[in-house]
Structure 1
Amino acid sequence: MSGGPPPLGGNVQFTESGERRIEWAARAMPVLAAVGARFADERPLDGLKIAACLHVTAETAVLLGALRTGGAQISLAASNPLSTQDDVAAALAEYGIAVHAKAGVDRDTYYRHIHNALDLAPDIVLDDGCDLVNTLHTERVELLPGVTGGCEATTTGIIRLRRMETEGELRFPMVAVNDTRIKRMFDNRYGTGQSTVDGIMRATNTLLAGKTVVVAGFGYCGRGVAERARGLGARVIVTEIDPVKGLDALLQGYEVRPMAAAAEVGDVFITVTGNRDVIRREHLEVMKDGAILANAGHFDVEIDVRALEGMAEAVNPDVRPNTDEYVLPDGRRLLLLAEGRLVNLTAAEGHPAAVMDMSFSAQALAVAWLVRERERLAPGVYDVPGEIDAEVARLKLAAAGVQIDTLTADQEVYLRSWRLGS
């Protein structure tokens, strides 16, 4: 297996730091360890080349280790330069994975790294946000015939993939890993909820108790953020465009307002929608002095940073780590966290490893399923089979020493029959 040189010059101490991070994450990922052991025996990915555009973190490294154990050759680009852990990238390169990632690179370098990963001429692709798949379909079309499928692990990416599918542009099958029950319930709700609040508190050291926190979007991620903020004593306002989700938020006890009304009273704003321009100029114009702006959606488009820059008469960068202060002509100061990028992966460390254990186990098993089924799958977006969700949950419960009930023979008959009633 070929790999690239360590991205920061092969600094041994730096590589060891990455290895320690990966080992620490692996301790909390017993399900992925079990999947990796199975892959070592079965070798379901032998001879396959995987190009990945993922967050370069210790948890991702554990996933890639399982896939490599299964026989895959891997080339990795970063899905977000601000979340890249350079010491982990160095350690991965030493493990034999070709790594094209460095923290803080500009947009042009970000896309060059995606092209570098695609130079592997992959059979399978893994994406966080659909930028790699989009690049394949627009700039690297010569590689499309060799790609048999892939996985997407974000809400934003799946929205883009479904649009490609609707327009007849998607050229191979993609598995919507983000849409599994395991991913939505645990990764999106508990992982995003905890890590987003963690990022805001690290960046600002603000006390959330007594603050008004505005959460834009009440999907699984938004629910998790709202729950954690309320649990810390905040008054939470939810903004939504979906009437069903808005009603859900209302019945869970949250205030529901349009952003125009919430902007006037909020102390902390958190966008979690997967859409753009959720916080716009007209909202920024009425916000309080000292309002905190954070994004936990995938891309840095949910807060209109360009509008904020145009409004400001001065910008004080890094008033705290990952906190930039924008001073408006009337003296108000708005605090933008993580440049409008993912606050949980930039100002904090992303989801706890115990959460990613489940999401990445589902992704690894989805890759193996895709390889088995690829000959019969037409281009399109596919849900992860339910049995994978159930298997991951069973393994996680077993690792926690928890047992659950099983159906009796009579119960199974009852559930299978439409003739049996009360």
Structure 2
Amino acid sequence: MSETAYSPVSQHLSDLETAQEEGRRKMDWALQHMPILNALREEFEAEQPLDGETIAMAMHVEAKTANLVELLADGGAEVAITGCNPLSTHDDVSAALDTHESITSYAVRGVDDEEYYDAMHACLAHEPTITVDDGMDMVKLVHEEYPDLIDSIVGGAEETTTGVHRLRAMDADGELHYPVFAVNDTPMKQLFDNVHGTGESSLATIAMTTNLSWAGKNVVVGGYGQCGKGVAKKASGQNANVIVCEVDPRKALEAHMEGYEVLPMVEAAKKGDVFITTTGNRDVITREHFEEMQDGVLLANAGHFDVEVNLDDLDDLAVDRFEARDGVEGFEMADGRVLNVLAEGRLVNLAAPISLGHPVEVMDQSFGVQAVCVRELAENGESYEPGVHDVPDDLDREVAEIKLAAEGVEHDDLSDEQREYMGSWEHGT
């Protein structure tokens, strides 16, 4: 592997051996509950589909992700990885990953912006043939500062909603010069990771960080995409009163038909006890909303970047800022109200001090899709034109079949007659 100016995680930790042991313990626990990755590991180890590939990754470096990274390395790849969020890395897991002879981990928790991108530059110095991204920062960096790599990169895979939005905008501008699979948009990701994963992990993290109950609270959900639906569904299931704020009239109508109260954010601001943003957009909650909020509200973000709750506006209004609790910062207003921000406005289910991210079983499915997409790029990447691509349906179904088999769940198949009927236009009344 190439030498780089930015050091791997092993150079940043004082008690490296202890960190490695603890990280491995976390990874082993997660792997016990990841039947999809275990099944794929057997295949990858036997067939070495990634032999000769170099993979650069920017992901949330924690135990579940680490098992995906090791799967790719065990399938023959050389892997360089760093974080995609300054507060989501688990240093012990990063250290454990770095012990693998085919993996270099540059991920360190709590880095500043300069260090964040230094680590990404270090990954790209390995001259990847495949990129795996969560948020699109690495793809953007390749195109802006490493154009010479583009010809040798066969393709990439993007994990999350925000990243896919950015990629599609880049593609529409004619600026995306290699193929990238929109992993986020495939059914095995949308139906489970975004709904159940985001919903469960966000609410669990907020409850553990604050030690507060959901029952009876007015929970305002900003955005009713798949993540917002998950948050709303899980909050309602814990006896909260859910209010949805949405800009798309169809999604607003869907939320209304699901039984939720639908309001503009300026009106919801007057009623909410907890605010959770899930849009992937900026300025969902701003000054005009802060001015209407009640004393003691909680402000949390479950979107990718820390721009959904406008902290600059909040800081301008505040006469004091203080640590209210580990992972909670209080902003005191001139009238004495305190508005509480969780995890610095970053992705709450990964950036809060005690957060663990999505449930293991959910991420097993999403990372299974990532793994088969990387395999597809290694084997057939030359058949894809530059741009954003849907995950091939047979790959998504492959992951679902592995999961069902692991759970001992059987299902029906179409007969030849049914298949012919569904594929014909000639059958009528």
Pair in the same fold by TM > 0.5: yes
The alignment partner of 1:313 has SS state of: strand
Classify the secondary structure of the residue corresponding to 1:82: coil
1:389: which partner in 2?
396
3-state SS of the aligned residue for 2:250? helix
Aligned to 1:336: 341
Give 5+ residue unaligned stretches, structure 1: none
State the partner residue of 1:312: 318
Secondary structure of 2:412's counterpart equals coil
Distance between the aligned counterparts of 2:84 and 2:111, measured in 1?
A: 11
Asked if 1:24 corresponds to 2:29, the answer is: yes
Residue aligned with 1:94, SS: coil
Distance 2:172 2:322 in 1: 44
Matched ranges for 1:317-328 at <5 A: 317=323, 319-328=324-333
Counterpart among 112, 130, 133 of residue 139 in structure 2 = 133
Does the CA-based 8 Å contact 1:5-1:94 persist in structure 2?
no
- CA deviations on 1:90-123 (whole Å, 9 max, x unpaired) are 1000113111111111111111111111111111
Percent of aligned pairs with the same amino acid = 49
Contact residue 181 and residue 389 of structure 1 kept, 8 A: yes
Distance 2:288 2:374 in 1: 44
Root-mean-square deviation (CA, aligned residues, Å) is 1.3
The answer to whether the 8 Å contact 2:9/2:94 transfers is no
CA distance in 2, matches of 1:93, 1:10: 14
Structure 1 residue aligned with 2:64, among 59, 63, 72? 59
Aligned to 2:200: 194
Task: Say which SS state the counterpart of residue 120 (structure 1) adopts.
Answer: coil
Cross-structure match for 1:380: 387
* Partner deviation per Cα, 1:168-211 (whole Å, 9 max, x = no partner): 11111110000010000000000000000011101111111111
The TM-score normalised by the length of structure 1 is 0.97
What is the match of residue 368 of structure 1? 375
> How many Å separate the matches in 1 of 2:338 and 2:389?
46
Aligned partner of 1:224 in structure 2 is: 230
392, 413, 421: which is aligned to 2:420? 413
Moved over 6 A (4+): none
Counterparts of 1:165-244 in structure 2 under 5 Å?
A: 165-244=171-250
1:9 Cα deviation from its structure 2 partner: 4.7
Q: Which moved more, 1:3-12 or 1:360-369?
A: 3-12
Q: Which residue of 2 aligns with 1:282?
A: 288
Residues of 2 paired with 1:2 and 1:107: CA distance? Answer: 23
Q: Distance in 1 between matches of 2:76 and 2:182?
A: 23
Amino acid at match of 1:281: R
Equivalents in 2 of 1:52, 1:100: separation in Å?
A: 10
Distance in 2, matches of 1:250 and 1:57, equals: 37
CA distance in 2: counterparts of 1:9 and 1:37, whole angstroms:
35
Specify the alignment match of 2:41 in structure 1. 36
Gaps of 5+ in 2: none
The normalised TM-score by structure 2 is: 0.96
Q: Deviations over 1:258-313 (max 9, x none)?
A: 11111111010000000001001111111000010000000000000111111111
Take 1:78 and 1:47, find their aligned partners in 2: how far apart are those partners?
24
Aligned to 2:92: 87
- Picking from 264, 279, 300, the partner of 1:258 is 264
What's 2:254 paired with? 248
CA distance in 1 between counterparts of 2:283 and 2:68 reads 33
Change (3 A) 1:141 1:410: closer
Partner of 1:114: 120
Letter in 2 for 1:26: L
